[in-house]
C-alpha cells in the first residue's frame, strides 16, 4: 500500500500507541514474528497498528484473555486482519458466529471431538504417522512439511468425514493451494474443488445417512427444530477443512524447526520419550501459531485504552504466552523447578488453542497429532537437523503462522 492510500489513524487512537506493524508483508515480521511481538508486548499490552487498514494489537495476557472471553464485545465476524469478509460467501460455522447462534451450532459438533469419539481417529493418525516416517527411512534429506506435516492431518479429516484415504493426496494439495498458493487463480481453483467435493458428499449423505461419520450426523441434526440447509452444512464442513488441516501442518512445522535447531533438546527427547507431553506443552507456549481477529460490537475500554465499535483487533496470543516466567527456549525448564511456575506455564500454553466460547474444538485431536509425531520422530527416525543453507521464513498471512517448507537432513549433527 502506498503512503497516500494508508487510511488516517482514527481520532480516538492515542498517537503514542501507534506503530506501523504489517503482520503479513513486513520482512522483519516474517523473519521472526515471535521476536517482533515480544518487543511490541514490552512496549504495552495494547498498541495500534496503522498497517493493513488499521487494527488494535492486543499483547498483554489479561487483555488477551478478556478479548477471547468477552464475546459480547469482541465479535468473531469477520475473521482475519485485514478482515477476510468475502473469502467465503457466508459466515463460517461455528467460528464466525457469535452468542446464542454460535452456541447452537457448536453444540452439534462437540460430540465428535471428545476423548472417546476421537479414539479411532487417533489410531489412524498413529498408523499414518508411522507409515510416513517409514517412507523416508532411507532418505538423507526431506522437506518435512511436504513429506509429513501436510499429509498427516489429512488423515484426520478423511476419517472424521468417513472418506476413503485414497483421496488423501488431492485433499492435501487443495488445502495447501487454497491457503498458500502464490497465484490467486490456483487458490480459487482449489476452493472450487473443495466446495464441489464437499457439496457432492453432503448430497450423498443426505440420500443415505447411514454412516457414523460427522456429515451423516449433521444431515440428521436439527437447530431450533429445523434441519441444517445445504449452505449451513457446507459452511460447517468447509470451516473444519480449513481449521483442522493447515493449523496442524503449521504447528508441526514450527515445532520441528525448533527441534532441528536445538540438538540438545532433541537428544533429551530421544533419551526420554515420556517427556514428550511436557515438552510439547512448552513448545505450544513458546510458538502459538493462531492470532485470531475480532471486531468490536460497541465502544469498549481494554487495558485502559478506549476502542470504538467497528474497530478491528488482532489477539496477539504469543505476546501473552511468551511473557510468562521468563525463558523462551522451549526446554520447559525455567530453572525454578517449582510446581506453581509449571502450572502457570501450562495455563499460558493452553491459550495456543484459544479461550472461552470459541476455544478450539479439535484441541484433543491436535495434541494427539503433535504428540504422536514428536514421539515417533524421536524413536523411529534418526536424529535430524536443519539442512545447511536452509533459512526458512515464516508465513504469517491467512491467520495461521507457519513454515511453507522445512528442509531437514538426517544423521547426528
Q: Does 94 bind ligand HEM (CB under 6 A)?
A: yes
Least Å distance, CB 248 to ligand HEM, is: 5
Nearest alpha-carbon partner for 341 in 280, 303, 285: 285
Q: Does 296 bind ligand HEM (CB under 6 A)?
A: no
Most distant pair of Cα atoms in the chain: their distance: 61
Are 261 and 385 within 8 A, CB to CB?
yes
Strands 293-296 and 312-315: antiparallel
Span interacting with ligand HEM, options 131-139, 213-221, 353-361, 373-381, rule CB under 6 A: 353-361
Least Å distance, CB 24 to ligand HEM, is: 18
Interior angle at CA 31, CA 276 and CA 18, nearest 5 = 110
Are 57 and 316 within 8 A, CB to CB?
yes
Helical (H) or strand (E) element with 345: helix 339-349
CA distance 160 to 214: 6
Q: Does 402 bind ligand HEM (CB under 6 A)?
A: no
Q: Does 234 bind ligand HEM (CB under 6 A)?
A: no
Using CB positions, name the residue nearest to ligand HEM. Answer: 362
354 SS3 class: coil
Helical (H) or strand (E) element with 394: strand 394-395
Q: Does 358 bind ligand HEM (CB under 6 A)?
A: yes
Minimum CB distance to ligand HEM smaller for 317 or for 387: 317
Q: Does 361 bind ligand HEM (CB under 6 A)?
A: yes
Q: Does 240 bind ligand HEM (CB under 6 A)?
A: yes
Span interacting with ligand HEM, options 31-39, 240-248, 261-269, 382-390, rule CB under 6 A: 240-248
Q: Does 95 bind ligand HEM (CB under 6 A)?
A: yes
Span interacting with ligand HEM, options 7-15, 35-43, 181-189, 359-367, rule CB under 6 A: 359-367
Q: How many of the other CB atoms lie within 10 Å of CB of 297?
A: 17
User: Helix 339-349 vs helix 276-286: angle between axes, to the nearest 10 degrees?
Assistant: 60
Q: Does 353 bind ligand HEM (CB under 6 A)?
A: yes
Return residues touching ligand HEM (CB under 6 A).
Answer: 76, 94-95, 106, 156, 239-240, 243-244, 247-248, 251, 289-290, 292, 352-354, 358, 360-362, 365-366
Amino acid at each position: 500500500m502506498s503512503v497516500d492510500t494508508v487510511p488516517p489513524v482514527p481520532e480516538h487512537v492515542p498517537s503514542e500507541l501507534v506503530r506501523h506493524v504489517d503482520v503479513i508483508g513486513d520482512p522483519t515480521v516474517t523473519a521472526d514474528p515471535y521476536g517482533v511481538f515480544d518487543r511490541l508486548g514490552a512496549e504495552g499490552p495494547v498498541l495500534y497498528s496503522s498497517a493493513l487498514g488499521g487494527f488494535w494489537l492486543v499483547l498483554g495476557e489479561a487483555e488477551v484473555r478478556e478479548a477471547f472471553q468477552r464475546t459480547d464485545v469482541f465479535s468473531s465476524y469477520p475473521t482475519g486482519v485485514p478482515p477476510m469478509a468475502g473469502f467465503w460467501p457466508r459466515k463460517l460455522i461455528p467460528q464466525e458466529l457469535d452468542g446464542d447462534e454460535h452456541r447452537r451450532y457448536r453444540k452439534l459438533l462437540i460430540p465428535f471431538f471428545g476423548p472417546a469419539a476421537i479414539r479411532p481417529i487417533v489410531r489412524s493418525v498413529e498408523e499414518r504417522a508411522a507409515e510416513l516416517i517409514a517412507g523416508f527411512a532411507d532418505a538423507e534429506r526431506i522437506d518435512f512439511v511436504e513429506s509429513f506435516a501436510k499429509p498427516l492431518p489429512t488423515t484426520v479429516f478423511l476419517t472424521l468425514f468417513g472418506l476413503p484415504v485414497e483421496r488423501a493426496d488431492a485433499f492435501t494439495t487443495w488445502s495447501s493451494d487454497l491457503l498458500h498458493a502464490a497465484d490467486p487463480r490456483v487458490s480459487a481453483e482449489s476452493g472450487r474443488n473443495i466446495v464441489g467435493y464437499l457439496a457432492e458428499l453432503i448430497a450423498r449423505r443426505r440420500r443415505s445417512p447411514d454412516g457414523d461419520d460427522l456429515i451423516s450426523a449433521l444431515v440428521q441434526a436439527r437447530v431450533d427444530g429445523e434441519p441444517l440447509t445445504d449452505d449451513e452444512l457446507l459452511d460447517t464442513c468447509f470451516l473444519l477443512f480449513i481449521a483442522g488441516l493447515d493449523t496442524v501442518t503449521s504447528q508441526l512445522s514450527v515445532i520441528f524447526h525448533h527441534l532441528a535447531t536445538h540438538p540438545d533438546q532433541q537428544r533429551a527427547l530421544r533419551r526420554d520419550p515420556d517427556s514428550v507431553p511436557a515438552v510439547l506443552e512448552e513448545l505450544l507456549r513458546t510458538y502459538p501459531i493462531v492470532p485470531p481477529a475480532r471486531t468490536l460490537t460497541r465502544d469498549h475500554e481494554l487495558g485502559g485504552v478506549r476502542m470504538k465499535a467497528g474497530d478491528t483487533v488482532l489477539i496477539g496470543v504469543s505476546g501473552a504466552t511468551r511473557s510468562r516466567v521468563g525463558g523462551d527456549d522451549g526446554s520447559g525448564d525455567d530453572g525454578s523447578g517449582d510446581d506453581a511456575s509449571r502450572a502457570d506455564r501450562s495455563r499460558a500454553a493452553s491459550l495456543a488453542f484459544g479461550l472461552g466460547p470459541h476455544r478450539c474444538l479439535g484441541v484433543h485431536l491436535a495434541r494427539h497429532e503433535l504428540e504422536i509425531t514428536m514421539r515417533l520422530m524421536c524413536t523411529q527416525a534418526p536424529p535430524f537437523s536443519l539442512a545447511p543453507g536452509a533459512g526458512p521464513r515464516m508465513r504469517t498471512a491467512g491467520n495461521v503462522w507457519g513454515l511453507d517448507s522445512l528442509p531437514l537432513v538426517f544423521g547426528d549433527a
